Amino acid sequence: MNDKFFLDTNIFIYSFDEGAPEKRDRSRQLINLALQSGNGSISILVMQEFLNAATRKFSTPMTLKDSQRYLRQVLNPLCQVYTDLPLLENGLNIQDETGYSFYDSLILAAAIKANCAVLYSEDLHHGQIVKGVKIANPYLD
């Protein structure tokens, strides 16, 4: 069984959310597992979405220095999928098949490209399987 997993952007955002300690702690567990096991992955889209939120939308935005450190130490080591034409085409196909937004479909396409068995996300349908990738909401008991 493939034990690789993909982390959606919301996992990283919640890892900084002091107002949701249970989600924060679970998110940090997943990120640490991804880094330590080598089985976790993300895409360039996750990196971009997180950095945008962290530097502009957090109640206390990340400083340039902190965001660069997080990029180097956490995001970059996990990034295994970069945008190319086949990824975009697969994202469009998934959007057509599932009705998900284009960006959510790109996340799914990236999880497929990274050969992941599971996509951890709060935003998609928990338990649904799309092209062999099971969507799992890590915050459900």
Give the pLDDT score at 64: 97
Note whether residue 77 is domain-resident.
Answer: yes
Give the pLDDT score at 10: 97
pTM, whole model, 2 decimals?
Answer: 0.95
Give the pLDDT score at 1: 42
Q: What torsion, rounded to 10 degrees, do the Cα atoms 33, 7, 45, 54 define?
A: -70
Strand order in the sheet with 40-43: 79-81, 40-43, 5-7, 118-120, 133-136, 129-130
Residues of the chain with pLDDT under 50: 1
Report the domain count for the chain: 1
In whole angstroms, what is the distance from residue 121 CA to residue 112 CA?
A: 14
Give the pLDDT score at 72: 98
- Host domain of residue 24: 5-136
Give the pLDDT score at 8: 98
Domain at 76, CATH number: 3.40.50.1010
- The pair phi, psi for residue 30, each rounded to 5°, is -65, -40
Tokens of 27: 């998110």
Note whether residue 141 is domain-resident.
Answer: no
44-56 vs 102-113: helix axis angle to the nearest 10? 130
Note whether residue 88 is domain-resident.
Answer: yes
67 HSE (CA, 13 A, CB side): 18
Tokens of 134: 């099971």
Note whether residue 109 is domain-resident.
Answer: yes
In whole angstroms, what is the distance from residue 97 CA to residue 89 CA?
A: 12
Number of C-beta neighbours around residue 139 at 10 A? 16
Give the pLDDT score at 125: 95
42 HSE (CA, 13 A, CB side): 25
